[in-house]
Structure 1
Amino acid sequence: MKVFGIAGWSGSGKTTLLTRLIPALVQAGIRVATVKHTHHDPAVGDEECRALARAGAMECVVASPRRFALVHEIHLDDAEPPLDWLMGRFAGIDLLLIEGYKWASHPKLEVWNPSLGKSMLAPAESSIVALASDQPVATVALPQFHRDDIAGIAAYICQYCRI
């Protein structure tokens, strides 16, 4: 199983990109699953998780500091499950797309929306290997895509992950 992430600040368009990217990957014959990090309380039937499943993800985990869905309650004294542990839950998958987990070490594409007024992650985070934005960014020496270039992003992820 290959692992690739989609990172960015809240509201940058990560889930929107994934719901458009997953069908392109599935159409190419790739079995996709997702892990989505959230600061909200995920529940069974979480709308964003359902959207990822409708897009074609075979499995989806939504995780927060207090719960992850497949709903599994985490007691107050227990820590949030580590990403590596969550990743080990998947079987029969070609590509695990991880949404969020900005600071984890897996390779990621950053979705950057300058209108949010947040700094770009890429200059400080070495695990960012590509950038998706609505406009080119001259100060970043990474492969760049328009956020609507779903075919290009899908092709890049497949090439990067060698699938």
Structure 2
Amino acid sequence: MKILGIAGWSGAGKTTLLARLIPELIGRGVSVSTMKHAHHAFDVDTPGKDSYVHRAAGATEVMVASGRRWALMHELRDAAEPDAATLVSHMTPVDLLLVEGFKNEPHDKLEIYRAANGKPLLSDGDATYVAVLSDGKVPETPLPVLDLNDIAAIADFVMAHCGLKPRA
């Protein structure tokens, strides 16, 4: 399974890019999964539901399953947050796993950069970044710079970088 990160400061457009890139890659015959890092407390469960009651009672893991999907919730309790590699080990293998966030992890990454955000380049001095996706020129980087709005060109780069071949 190939792994490629999408990183950028908050508000750069990571999720928007993924919402456009995933269908483009799937249309080329690539199976795609995603993993997203959240910097804040989040919950995928609803108070009052049985699964929520199970977790609140102290269960380490709760699986909810139906005829359409299943979800596994794992409570860390007081354990340390796992790194990306540990989390990836729980994923079902696909052709490409796109990882949103996890900007300091050792997998290869694309940086979404918008000068208007007023933030520095994350990729500056970090060899895990392989290209910059931007809505403008980025003369201060030695990395390839791709137009953030050219989804086909970004997909071409991703496929080439990850050694993926289109399938019908």
Q: TM-score range by the shorter chain?
A: 0.7 to 0.9
1:107-155 deviations in Å (ceiling 9; x for gaps)? 1110011111111111122111100111011121111111101001111
Q: Which residue of 1 aligns with 2:40?
A: 40
Match of 2:73 among 51, 71, 74: 71
**Residue 98 of structure 2 corresponds to residue 97 of structure 1:** yes
List alignment gaps of at least 5 residues for structure 2: 46-70
Could you say which residue in structure 2 is the equivalent of 1:156? 157
Q: Which has the higher contact order (CA 8 A, sep 6+)?
A: 2
Other structure's SS at 1:71 match: strand
Aligned counterparts of 1:2 and 1:40: Cα–Cα separation in 2 = 27
Contact 1:43 1:71 in 2 (8 A): no
Higher Cα Rg, which structure? 2
User: Does the 8 Å contact 2:115/2:136 carry over to 1?
Assistant: no
| Corresponding pairs, count | 139
Aligned residues of 1:111 and 1:147 also touching (Cα < 8 A): yes
Once the two structures are TM-superposed, the CA of residue 15 in structure 1 deviates from its matched residue by: 0.6
Query: What does residue 126 of structure 2 align with?
Result: 125
Matched, 1:6 2:3: no
Return the TM-score normalized by structure 1.
0.81
Q: CA deviation at 1:156?
A: 0.3
1:44/1:70 contact within 8 Å kept: no
Deviates more, 1:104-113 or 1:120-129: 120-129
Q: Deviations over 1:55-109 (max 9, x none)?
A: xxxxxxxxxxxxxx7432210x201122111111122410000011111111111
Aligned equivalents of 1:21, 1:70: Cα separation in 2: 26
1-structure distance, mates of 2:72, 2:145 = 34
Task: Kindly provide the amino acid, as one letter, of the partner of residue 37 in structure 1.
Answer: H
Residues of 1 paired with 2:12 and 2:149: CA distance? 13
Q: Mark the runs of 5 or more structure 1 residues left unpaired by the alignment.
A: 46-68
What SS class does the counterpart of residue 99 from structure 2 fall into? strand
Q: TM-score, normalised by structure 2?
A: 0.78
